[in-house]
């Protein structure tokens, strides 16, 4: 799936059908914390009730106290007013506190769930899903869902309660006038909904464009070296300014509509107030409506209009949050492609012969990368895989490590289908070193210990010496306690390869896989590694992929893999004798190396290279 498709998935309108289910799941997120939810709902309701009652109280202070010039009543009512304000303030303190705590708990729950699930997902998920997409789920989506459950619920409760209590008090003060005001409500709701539709569709466009801009930024920054190397700056700039131009125009329309909405609502409220003032003015003259009553009525109208004005915003935020929740749930619900079968067990060891039996495998869709692939490897053998790019070497070891499973056929270890074993029992006994080694931020020592947490310092040093990493580590000021930086980027690629090699050695694997693991170290270091890991390889069944053929000369068997098939197989000497593909590859590399060496030699002596 392309990056763009992913971002278009953010279009929530198409998914609103699922809303009810999602809503139910969102509520279930809050369920474990129901005491906190109940607590803040009670407190919010109480403070809204107080708010409405204060307006009613001021009406009484005005009518019964001030206008009648009755000081004891004024003092009595003011005392009540003061007392209630203190209580209300405590309610406000309480619900803000509870909402804060509740939000944090929900964020914690969601992140925890996602993190655990992400660890379980198979590699195929990660090759399908952009990292940015996953990061957005963990960060901004989690935030939005937590906001919905806390401030969203709070806003909604507050709004509903303001509306209801204002209506009740208005009916108490003057029911006829109240009914006239209520008649304007449907108009307001209608206008609110119409505006919402239009504003939302603009904002949706803005968000889509925004995602595209973010993606473009992301790609250009992570790929900055390539951009510069290929002099793509001008081209990229043009694409980017097109995107930002569209974004500007859409955001402009959205802003215009949003700006128009509030004045329209205010105009209608003002109209309602005018009607009330006019009619009650007539009624005051006829003794039907007190001054305090009019004052309270006008206040209640604003109380009532506020939630309706806000309806559009709250609704839009709810939609956003529901869309966020859907994406989070889609992440949590995605099943790992590779998982333990029922009854999977730990065999205690995975030493034994390995057999690929008519294995057919493709990644996302046909055509298959491997078709009816057969290979038998004896316990302890060192197998080298060579051949052209895209031939299927990495795929073979991916299957062996059970990062993926065969679509048809089976892989047997010690005579048993490896799907009978638990994933952990296999993967914890396979040491894998990749071409692009990944280190975690921390010290060299911490990185080495990653695969075996209880390794002693001596064991760590022994492993580092075995692969020839000890020397360069000791050259660092802090030695093994030197920080490697994020992703290990304070080290050279070759140094990272050596550390990840030592890390794998330390974990005492039973099967050892090296995929271009030493491609970035110099030939001298590589020779040292060869000697070092020869000891390790003696006890292990191992698979070594290398483009540099000098690396694999000593392998028990060399396989030339081409288009997912074994094109040639044999020892180095056998294959050279056959004068086939391996022979060609080898002689070409050998000649190339000789030319380089001679070229360097000629430059040193100031002569033209012989081979030009």
Ligand X SMILES: Nc1ncnc2c1ncn2[C@@H]1O[C@H](COP(=O)(O)OP(=O)(O)OP(=O)(O)O)[C@@H](O)[C@H]1O
Contact set with ligand X (CB under 6 A) = 127, 363-364, 369, 389-395
Least distance between ligand X and beta carbon 478 (Å): 35
**Per CB under 5 A, which region of 133-141, 261-269, 393-401, 503-511 contacts Mg ion?**
393-401
In the complex, the smallest distance separating the C-beta of residue 498 from ligand X, rounded to whole angstroms, is 20
Closest to Mg ion by CB, 319 or 394: 394
Distance of closest approach, residue 221 Cβ to Mg ion, in angstroms: 26
Torsion of CA 351, 356, 360, 364, to 10 degrees: 20
Tell me which of ligand X, Mg ion, none is bound by residue 391, counting a contact when its beta carbon lies within the kind-specific cut-off of 5 to 8 angstroms: ligand X
Nearer to Mg ion, 400 or 473 (CB): 400
312 close to 261: Cβ distance less than 8 angstroms: yes
- Interface with Mg ion, residue 519, by CB under 5 A: no
Which C-beta is closer to ligand X: that of 364 or that of 366? 364
- Out of ligand X, Mg ion, none, what residue 557 binds, judged by CB under 5 to 8 A for its kind, is none
Nearest one of 161, 446, 156, 420 to 314, comparing CA atoms: 156
Record the tokens describing residue 337, joined without a space: 């492609």
Q: Which two tokens stand for residue 43?
A: 């407190």
Stretch that binds Mg ion, among 112-120, 122-130, 391-399, 446-454 (CB under 5 A): 391-399
**Residue 363 contact, options ligand X, Mg ion, none, Cβ 5-8 Å cut-off depending on partner type:** ligand X
150/394 with CB nearer ligand X: 394
Is 48 a residue that touches Mg ion (CB under 5 A)? no
Residue 563 binds which entry of Mg ion, ligand X, none, CB below 5-8 Å type-dependent: none
Long-range contacts of 288-295 (CB under 8 A, 24+ apart): 288/174, 289/174, 289/177, 290/59, 290/62, 290/63, 290/67, 291/62, 291/63, 291/67, 292/58, 292/59, 292/60, 292/61, 292/62, 292/63, 292/67, 293/59, 293/63, 293/173, 293/174, 295/58, 295/59, 295/62
| Distance in Å, CB of 517 to Mg ion, minimum | 11
Picked from ligand X, Mg ion, none, the partner binding residue 47 (CB below 5 to 8 A depending on kind) is none
CA atoms of 566 and 374, how far apart (whole Å): 9
Nearer to Mg ion, 394 or 542 (CB): 394
Token pair listed for 136: 């957005």
Phi-psi region of 351 (alpha: psi -120 to 50; beta: other; left: phi over 0): beta
Query: What sign results for the dihedral spanned by CA atoms 504, 506, 511, 514?
Result: positive
Residue 525 contacts which entry, Mg ion, ligand X, none (Cβ below 5-8 A, type-dependent): none
Q: Which burial class, exposed, middle or buried, applies to 169 when counting CB atoms under 10 A from its CB (0-12, 13-18, 19+)?
A: buried
Judged by CB, which is closer to Mg ion: 312, or 555? 555
Q: Could you tell me the smallest distance in angstroms from the CB atom of residue 383 to Mg ion? A: 15
Closest separation between CB of residue 362 and ligand X, Å? 8
Q: Which residues pair with 559 in a beta bridge?
A: 385, 569
| Sheet of strand 382-386: strand arrangement | 430-433, 511-515, 541-545, 382-386, 557-562, 565-570
User: What's the closest the beta carbon of residue 1 comes to Mg ion, in angstroms?
Assistant: 22
Nearer to Mg ion, 394 or 519 (CB): 394
394 binds Mg ion (CB under 5 A): yes
Q: Which is nearer to ligand X, 128 or 379 (CB)?
A: 128
Interface with Mg ion (CB under 5 A): 394
């Amino acid at each position: 799936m392309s990056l763009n498709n992913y971002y278009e998935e953010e279009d929530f309108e198409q998914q609103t059908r699922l809303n009810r289910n999602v809503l139910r799941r969102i509520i279930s997120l809050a369920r474990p914390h129901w005491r906190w939810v109940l607590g803040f709902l009670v407190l919010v309701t109480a403070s809204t009730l107080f708010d409405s009652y204060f307006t009613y109280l001021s009406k009484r202070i005005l009518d019964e106290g001030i206008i009648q010039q009755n000081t004891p009543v004024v003092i009595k009512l003011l005392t009540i007013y003061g007392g209630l304000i203190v209580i209300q303030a405590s309610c406000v303190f309480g619900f803000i506190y509870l909402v804060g705590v509740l939000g944090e708990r929900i964020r914690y729950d969601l992140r925890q769930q996602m993190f655990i699930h992400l660890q379980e997902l198979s590699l195929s998920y990660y090759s399908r899903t952009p990292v940015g997409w996953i990061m957005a789920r963990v960060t901004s989506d989690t935030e939005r869902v937590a906001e919905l459950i806390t401030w969203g619920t709070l806003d909604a409760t507050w709004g509903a309660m303001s509306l209801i209590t204002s209506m009740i008090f208005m009916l108490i003060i003057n029911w006829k006038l109240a009914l006239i005001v209520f008649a304007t409500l449907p108009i307001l709701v209608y206008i609110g909904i119409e505006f919402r539709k239009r504003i939302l569709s603009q904002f949706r466009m803005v968000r889509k464009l925004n995602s595209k801009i973010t993606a473009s930024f992301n790609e250009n920054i992570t790929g900055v070296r390539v951009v510069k190397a290929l002099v793509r700056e001008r081209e990229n700039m043009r694409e980017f300014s097109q995107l930002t131009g569209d974004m500007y125009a859409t955001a402009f329309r959205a802003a215009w509509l949003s700006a128009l909405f509030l004045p329209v609502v205010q105009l209608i409220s003002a109209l309602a107030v005018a009607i009330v003032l006019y009619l009650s003015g007539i009624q005051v003259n006829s003794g039907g409506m007190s001054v305090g009553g009019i004052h309270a009525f006008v206040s209640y109208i604003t109380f009532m209009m506020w939630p309706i004005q806000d309806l559009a915003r709250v609704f839009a935020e709810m939609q956003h949050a529901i869309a966020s929740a859907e994406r989070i749930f889609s992440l949590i619900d995605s099943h790992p492609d590779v998982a333990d079968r029922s009854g999977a067990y730990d065999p205690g060891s995975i030493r034994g012969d390995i057999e690929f039996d008519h294995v057919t495998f493709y990644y996302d869709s046909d055509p298959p990368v491997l078709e009816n692939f057969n290979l038998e490897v004896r316990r302890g053998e060192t197998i080298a895989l060579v051949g052209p790019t895209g031939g299927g070497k990495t795929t073979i070891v991916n299957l062996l490590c059970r990062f993926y499973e065969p679509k048809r056929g089976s892989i047997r270890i010690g005579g048993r289908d490896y799907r009978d074993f638990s994933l952990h029992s296999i993967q914890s006994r396979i040491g894998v070193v990749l071409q692009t080694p990944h280190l975690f931020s921390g010290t060299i020592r911490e990185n080495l210990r990653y695969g075996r947490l209880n390794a002693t310092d001596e064991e760590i040093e022994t492993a580092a010496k075995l692969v020839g990493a000890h020397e360069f580590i000791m050259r660092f000021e802090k030695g093994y306690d030197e920080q490697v930086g994020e992703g290990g980027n304070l080290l050279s690629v070759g140094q990272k390869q050596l550390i990840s090699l030592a890390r794998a050695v330390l974990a005492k694997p039973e099967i050892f896989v090296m995929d271009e693991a030493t491609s970035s170290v110099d030939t001298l270091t590589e020779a040292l590694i060869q000697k070092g890991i020869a000891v390790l390889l003696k006890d292990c069944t191992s698979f070594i992929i290398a483009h540099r053929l000098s690396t694999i000369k000593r392998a028990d068997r060399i396989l030339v893999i081409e288009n997912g098939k074994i094109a040639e197989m044999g020892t180095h000497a056998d294959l050279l004798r056959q004068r086939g593909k391996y022979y060609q590859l080898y002689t070409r590399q050998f000649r190339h190396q000789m030319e380089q060496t001679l070229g360097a030699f000629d430059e040193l002596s100031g002569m033209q290279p012989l081979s030009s």
